Amino acid sequence: MSENPQVQPILDRIETREHELAAQAEQLRARIEELAQQLRETDAETENLRITRKTLLALPMPSPAAEPEAPDIPVHPAYQQILTALADAGRPMRARDLCQALDLPILPKNTEGIRSKLKRLVSRGILAETEPGLFARPDA
């Protein structure tokens, strides 16, 4: 090296700066490797999502779910009158109460006839017997 005393401090500063730049370059290389790894992971996840989308689009469409069939209400008008009376009342009723609501005389034959119709509506899922002898619409 040069024996010139004026040049030595400059050479020392250059060497210090070279070490600083080498350290900085090493840090940047490490950061580049870290970013490259993150990029590979992101690319892999993106590819997985693309494959998932492609697979889902290739699946056949499910057939539409069939609407549950409404229970068959018997044709006789008495059943419609019973259902209307229950809807108007908005509360569970007994056969005797329905006889009164339908303006039928409170006689055993009438209450038993209404009770049997109520039981038939319960068996078809149109009405519910909330407790023995007490009938209501399932949605009420």
Residue pLDDT, tens place only, 89-111: 889 999 999 999 999 999 999 99
Q: Is the pTM of this model over 0.75?
A: no
Helix or strand holding residue 109 (H, E): helix 108-123
The dihedral formed by the CA atoms of 33, 35, 38 and 44, expressed in degrees to the nearest 10: -80
pLDDT of residue 47: 96
* Average of per-residue pLDDT across 9-35: 95
Buried b (16+ CB within 10 A) or exposed e, 91-120: ebbbbebbbebeebeeeeebbeebbebbee
| Residue 5 reports pLDDT greater than 90 | no
Out of 21-25, 121-125, 127-131, give the one with best mean pLDDT.
21-25
Query: For 25-84, what is each residue's pLDDT tens digit?
Result: 999 999 999 999 999 999 999 999 999 999 988 988 887 776 666 677 788 888 899 989
pLDDT of residue 15: 95
- pLDDT confidence tier of residue 137, bands split at 50, 70 and 90: confident
pLDDT of residue 140: 58
For the four alpha carbons of 123, 126, 130 and 136, in that order, the dihedral sign comes to negative
CA distance 31 to 105: 95
pLDDT of residue 64: 76
CA distance 130 to 111: 18
| CA contacts within 13 A on the Cβ side of 46 | 6
